[in-house]
Amino acid sequence: MSSSERYMPEVLIVGGGATGTGIARDLAMRGVEVLLAEAGDLSSGASGGNHGMLHSGARYAVTDPEAARECATEGEVLKRIAGFCIEDTGGLFVSLPRDDHAYLDRFLDGCRGSGVRAEEISICEALRSEPNISSDIAAAVRVPDASVDPFFLVWGMAESAREAGATVLTHTPVTSLHVKEGRIARAVLGRGERRRTVRPEVVVNASGAWCGRVAAMAGQRIDMQLDKGSMVVFNGRLVNGLVNRLRPPADGDILVPHRSSTILGTTSGPGTLEDVRATATEVEGLLRAATEVLPGLSTARTIRSYAGVRPLLNGNGRGRQASRAFTVIDHSEGGVENLLSVAGGKLTTCRLMAEKASDAVMRRLGRSGACRTMLEEISPPVIGGGSFQEEVMRRKYGAFTGTILAECIGSPLGREEACSCESVSVGELEHFAASPDVISLSDLMRRTRAGMGYCQAGLCVFRMASALDAGEPRREIERFLAERWKGISPVLRGEQLRQEAFKAHLFKVHGIDHTREG
Amino acid sequence: MTSRTMDGCIKCGACVRECPVLLQEGQDRFPGPRRLAVEGPRFNEELSALRSPLELCTTCARCTAACPSALPLPEALVQVRRLLYREKPRPERQENMLANIDGTLRTVLPSGPVTELPSTGDVLFFPGCIGHGRYPEGITSSLSLIRAVGGRPFAPQGWACCGSPLEKIGDEQRLARLEAHNKALFRGFDTVVTSCPGCTVQLRKRYGLDPQHIIEHIHGSGRLRRSSFDHGSPPIKVALHSPCHLARVVGPHTLEMARDLLDMVPGVDVVSTGLEDDCCGGGGGVASARPDVAERMAARKVQAAVEAGAELLLAPCPFCVINLGRTGLLNVQDLTVFLASRLLKAEGIYSPIP
Ligand SMILES: Cc1cc2nc3c(=O)[nH]c(=O)nc-3n(C[C@H](O)[C@H](O)[C@H](O)COP(=O)(O)OP(=O)(O)OC[C@H]3O[C@@H](n4cnc5c(N)ncnc54)[C@H](O)[C@@H]3O)c2cc1C
């Protein structure tokens, strides 16, 4: 879209994570003209740096019943409307002999109280469904946890919002909000040639961990803290469903099977907005804790680590004690009548957050229109025959597969495999590279999963670069590999060490050192 | 958990470049060992879409030979088959094979007269289903060769299939049944001679025996020499096929032994085809699941032998002989049949298979 085009949205949404895209979808489906501006790519914030659990609510059943209740209902709603990016694997909570036994009853009570379907099962049954966990476990509870791919959820919501008429702009930061007579009169988005001004009636601040900064542009203060969480990615599926430690939430409690990998998390500690990464010490701590439940973990192949930052609203406790429930802040009390900030919450509750925020926007606009987001599917899961490549595509893109498939299958080159770890074809890369949303290799990776597998872009990076056709491919490749390396270096051991040594040889031919950051 | 194979890959691509089925059939039909044994099994339900390409692996183990980490790719692949075939019907010809096993304990029902085996002696010879039911000349020749080096071959009554084909297609239950049956028969013997490399490998891996392939047995005896063979036979140009399970699993020394033995036979000129090491396409259940693929693979090899001027193609494996023979482009014989036919004093040797 060219910058000369005029946008006259009723509502400006700041932030393209789960919350922002959820709100864009909700409002657009209610017939509101919305413009979403995202500073980077979709899911470049916490939505792309989380654990990928579709919470049943069980994890919060004891400590945070309100969040538990929200997760319990919303988890089921998302399974219904976003089945294409959810693997409904179910989950187990297991305790070890040294864990506090009294916690089991509190846990079951908490689940009952918050409407979380939890069922205690025998040790035998638990070991049957998860043969790799420690046979020492003392108790086991089955819960309806699931695994969700946040990249595809957010992308799906953005596409669904667009279909309903929303404009979604990525790589378009909101740079200033101009307040005049108690309301935001105009907002400036984009930089340089792409800079433009809009005059929305309402601004929704859905910028997650950045919400304090964005609110400050309008002279508003949000009292919040940043809490970092780190995760480790293992090659392949080490568990059949989610495995949680049955104890008060602590580090390294949860294993999530995620597509072709397993993700272990998380930690909790003070965070910053820049340079968010996991450290080798956090990785060690996570491994130590989780090996107690899954002994084989100590020799399993770690392929990378990553981290995300949670915005936690103050007055809600610190770190793990802070509530995971969300808040819609109406800034009219602070003197800006058309600014709403949405903060806190979970990926799991993003639809509900969007509904509540959109209700508030509708009131502010003085318009009516009921929420329809829980009725209409973003994309149904599409199942059915075909090659492995097609099957993998369907499980990524759901109903959006049709068009992409038509392009891929059209030519033998399109079908050719670009990333074999994740079975991504050249056609998929080209399809997404043609989107105005995609300007970097990281964007292309988030759309297709190319480069996310165990060789960490060792083989596909050149294919990706040629599909993207970026101005300075070499610089872009180096930038992308440096970002990968940030996640790899803390887990550099065993097989991954051999992998990276091999890659170093491959890249040397091209004069690239993939182990150098920036 | 993930297997050593799934975790040990560094994506050097050696297995992909070396896989003969991939080379022959192309990536679309057969994505190769890395996809099937390493990358694919990392996924969840997507894996079921690999069912049909999984049928095309001949378990030739060339990938393992090429892998810098020596990952046991064929074994890992067979493991995936096992997972996917649980309670699902198999290709028709494999179902037939299973029915045969249930009825007779052997994979094939004899298609003609069989070679009778003595039930007493001092060398336990395990005939194997293919030799017994489809290639009796191969049994006869093996018996002659064992006798020529001074042994008295015999086979236990009621022997069952060694289980190799069941393992390749991932049928654990029947496999265990056959093994228990055979183990009782083998009790008291630690040397077993086989003519089929598939059996040799299976007896070594699963029975705790020290089996010898017939080539090892007769070469190792040291009793065959140039004077053992008929000097009056007409000169002949032959090509030698290297059976995967013999050369790669039993050991490369077997091929040297085979060449040594051929060198002893007067008038034999061994021509080189350049494709000696390539899989014939018959192993791993491919011949029964996808005979078209097995035949295409065989044709490529046979064609190369014809072009090299060979009048006869020899393979020290009855299974390879039958698969290579499918093409009808060239006479194919088990090496033992050829050697036995050139022995000075031979008994019961017949002409090559039709
Ligand atoms: C370690 C960790 C693990 C988690 N695990 C889970 C889990 O397993 N399950 C679960 O349900 N939830 C989980 N969560 C919570 C979940 O990730 C978040 O609740 C959710 O992603 C928040 O989405 P969001 O859209 O509000 O924020 P974000 O995804 O952070 O989106 C905010 C966006 O705003 C953009 N932005 C910032 N400033 C500007 C600007 N000036 N102009 C334009 N755009 C701007 C940013 O680039 C960013 O993309 C986890 C969180 C963390 C940190």
CA B39 – CA B44 distance, rounded (Å): 11
Residue A265: strand pairing partners: A231, A254
Q: Does A421 touch chain B (CB under 8 A)?
A: yes
pLDDT at A2: 40
SS (H, E, C) A368-416: CCCCCCCCCCCCCCCCCCCCHHHHHHHHHHHHHHHHHHHHHHHCHHHHC
Contact B316, B336 (CB under 8 A): yes
Query: DSSP assignment, residue B353?
Result: P
Q: Ligand 1 pocket, A210 CB below 6 A?
A: yes
∠ Cα A96 A97 A102 (to 5°): 90
CA A36 – CA A33 distance, rounded (Å): 10
pLDDT per position as a tens digit, B204-229: 999 988 899 999 999 999 999 999 99
CA A157 – CA A190 distance, rounded (Å): 22
pLDDT at B14: 98
A388-397 and A401-410 are packed helices; what angle lies between their axes, rounded to 10 degrees? 150
**Mean residue pLDDT across chain B:** 93
In a mutagenesis test of the A interface, which of B27, B42, B54 is the best target, namely the one with the most A β-carbons within 10 Å?
Answer: B42
Any domain includes A487: yes
Cβ count within 10 A of residue A496: 22
**Residue A267 CA, closest ligand 1 atom number:** 1
B226-347 and B123-220 share a CATH fold: yes
Res. B354 pLDDT band, cuts 50 70 90: very low
Residue A63 CA to its chain's centroid (Å): 23
Residue of B nearest to A259 (CA): B43
Nearest Cβ partner of A459 from B11, B45, B49?
B11
Cβ count within 10 A of residue A63: 18
Span from the CA of A48 to the centroid of ligand 1 (angstroms): 7
pLDDT per position as a tens digit, A260-272: 999 999 999 999 9
Instruction: Choose among B336, B43, B61: nearest CA to B216.
Output: B336
Which residues of chain A does B41 touch, with a Cβ-Cβ cutoff of 8 Å? 236
Nearest Cβ partner of B11 from A390, A391, A458?
A458
pLDDT of A384 above 80: no
Span from the CA of A18 to the centroid of ligand 1 (angstroms): 7
Helix (H) or strand (E) holding A186: strand A183-189
Which residues of chain A does B39 touch, with a Cβ-Cβ cutoff of 8 Å? 260, 420-421, 423, 453
Rounded average pLDDT over A377-405: 87
CATH of B123-220, one of 3.40.50, 3.30.559, 1.25.40, 2.40.360: 3.40.50
Helix (H) or strand (E) holding A218: none
Q: Euclidean distance between the first and final Cα of chain A, in Å?
A: 31
Question: Ligand 1 pocket test: which of A207, A266, A313 has the largest number of ligand atoms within 8 Å of its C-beta?
Answer: A207
Instruction: Choose among A447, A358, A45, A236: nearest CA to B39.
Output: A236
CA B4 – CA B40 distance, rounded (Å): 14
Which residues of chain A does B9 touch, with a Cβ-Cβ cutoff of 8 Å? 454
CA distances from A264 to A50, A149, A286, A297, A311 (A): 11, 15, 7, 10, 21
- Yes or no: domain B226-347 corresponds to CATH 3.40.50: yes
CB contact under 8 A, A260 and B43: yes
CB contact under 8 A, A260 and B12: no
pLDDT per position as a tens digit, B228-246: 999 999 999 999 999 999 9
A254 with A138, same domain: the answer is yes
Any domain includes A452: yes
CB contact under 8 A, A415 and B42: no
A400 with A501, same domain: the answer is yes
Could you give phi then psi for residue B110, rounded to 5 degrees? -55, 135
pLDDT per position as a tens digit, A54-99: 999 999 999 999 999 999 999 999 999 999 999 999 999 999 999 9
pLDDT per position as a tens digit, A399-419: 989 888 887 777 888 989 999
With H, G, I as helix, E, B as strand and everything else as coil, classify residue A280.
helix
Highest mean pLDDT among A344-348, A410-414, B90-94: A344-348
pLDDT of A389 above 80: yes
Q: Name which residue leads in pLDDT, A179 or B347.
A: A179
Q: Name which residue leads in pLDDT, A319 or B172.
A: B172
Domain ranges of chain B: 3-84, 123-220, 226-347
Q: Does B84 touch chain A (CB under 8 A)?
A: no
Span from the CA of A350 to the centroid of ligand 1 (angstroms): 10
Any domain includes A412: yes
CB contact under 8 A, B34 and A388: no
**CB burial of residue A123 (10 Å; 0-12, 13-18, 19+):** middle
Q: Does A301 touch chain B (CB under 8 A)?
A: yes
Span from the CA of A345 to the centroid of ligand 1 (angstroms): 9
pLDDT per position as a tens digit, A107-160: 999 999 999 999 999 999 999 999 999 999 999 999 999 999 999 999 999 999
pLDDT per position as a tens digit, A20-57: 999 999 999 999 999 999 999 999 999 999 999 999 99
Contact B134, B318 (CB under 8 A): yes
∠ Cα A126 A131 A134 (to 5°): 80
CA A32 – CA A161 distance, rounded (Å): 11
Mean pLDDT check: name the lowest of A207-221, A325-339, B86-100, B253-267. Answer: B86-100
**Residue A309 CA, closest ligand 1 atom number:** 53
Residue B212: strand pairing partners: B193
Cβ count within 10 A of residue B242: 22
Cβ count within 10 A of residue A315: 10
Q: Ligand 1 pocket, A309 CB below 6 A?
A: yes
Cβ count within 10 A of residue B292: 10
CA B235 – CA B224 distance, rounded (Å): 20
pLDDT at A405: 83
Any domain includes A478: yes
β pairing state of B212-213 and B192-194? parallel
A117 with A238, same domain: the answer is yes
Cis peptide before A348 (omega within 30 of 0): no
Residues 342-401 on A with a CB inside 8 Å of B are 385-388, 390-392, 395
∠ Cα A332 A31 A82 (to 5°): 95
CB contact under 8 A, B11 and A415: no
∠ Cα B12 B16 B22 (to 5°): 175
Q: Does B31 touch chain A (CB under 8 A)?
A: yes
∠ Cα B4 B6 B9 (to 5°): 95
Any domain includes A253: yes
**Residue A19 CA, closest ligand 1 atom number:** 25
A110: phi > 0 → left, psi -120 to 50 → alpha, else beta; which?
alpha
Any domain includes A312: no
CATH topology of domain B3-84: Fumarate Reductase Iron-sulfur Protein; Chain B, domain 2 (1.10.1060)
Any domain includes A516: no
Q: Ligand 1 pocket, A46 CB below 6 A?
A: yes
pTM of this structure: 0.94
Nearest Cβ partner of B39 from A234, A387, A420?
A420
Cβ count within 10 A of residue A34: 28
CA B196 – CA B205 distance, rounded (Å): 14
AA identity, residue B159: W
A28 with A175, same domain: the answer is yes
A452 with A474, same domain: the answer is yes
Residue carrying the six token digits 């990785």: A283
Q: Ligand 1 pocket, A313 CB below 6 A?
A: no
A102 with A251, same domain: the answer is yes
Cβ count within 10 A of residue A357: 26
pLDDT of B353 above 80: no
In a mutagenesis test of the A interface, which of B43, B67, B71 is the best target, namely the one with the most A β-carbons within 10 Å?
Answer: B43
A102 with A176, same domain: the answer is no
CA B246 – CA A331 distance, rounded (Å): 79
AA identity, residue B171: D
Instruction: Kindly state the tokens that stand for B225.
Output: 């020499």
Q: Does A256 touch chain B (CB under 8 A)?
A: no
Residue carrying the six token digits 């085979």: B258
CATH of the domain at A336: 3.50.50.60
Residue of A nearest to B41 (CA): A236
**Number of domains chain A contains:** 3
Q: Does B34 touch chain A (CB under 8 A)?
A: yes
Q: Ligand 1 pocket, A311 CB below 6 A?
A: no
Res. A318 pLDDT band, cuts 50 70 90: low
Which residues of chain A does B37 touch, with a Cβ-Cβ cutoff of 8 Å? none
Span from the CA of A46 to the centroid of ligand 1 (angstroms): 3
Structural domain range at position A25:
6-45+151-223+324-365
A205 with A171, same domain: the answer is yes
Measured by CA distance, the residue closest to atom 49 of ligand 1 is A45
CA B318 – CA B243 distance, rounded (Å): 10
Buried-state track A458-485, b at ≥16 Cβ within 10 A, e below 16: bbbbebbbebbebeebeebbbbbbebbb
β pairing state of A34-37 and A11-14? parallel
Q: Ligand 1 pocket, A266 CB below 6 A?
A: yes
Instruction: Choose among A171, A293, A169: nearest CA to A239.
Output: A293
Residue A270 CA to its chain's centroid (Å): 20
Residue of B nearest to A297 (CA): B1
**Residue A271 CA, closest ligand 1 atom number:** 53
Could you give phi then psi for residue A469, rounded to 5 degrees? 55, 50
For chain A, counts of helices (H) and of strands (E)? 16, 23
Residues in chain B: 354
Any domain includes A54: no
**Residue A21 CA, closest ligand 1 atom number:** 25
Res. B154 pLDDT band, cuts 50 70 90: very high
Nearest Cβ partner of B42 from A260, A459, A499?
A260
A343 with A473, same domain: the answer is no
pLDDT at B91: 85
**Mean residue pLDDT across chain A:** 94
Chain B nearest C-alpha distance from A487 (Å): 18
Q: Ligand 1 pocket, A174 CB below 6 A?
A: yes
Instruction: Kindly state the tokens that stand for A95.
Output: 């305790």
Q: Does A435 touch chain B (CB under 8 A)?
A: no
Residue of A nearest to B35 (CA): A420
Instruction: Choose among B246, B307, B312, B240: nearest CA to B276.
Output: B240
CB pairs under 8 A between A and B: 82
CATH of the domain at A120: 3.30.9.10
pLDDT at A317: 63
A403 with A499, same domain: the answer is yes
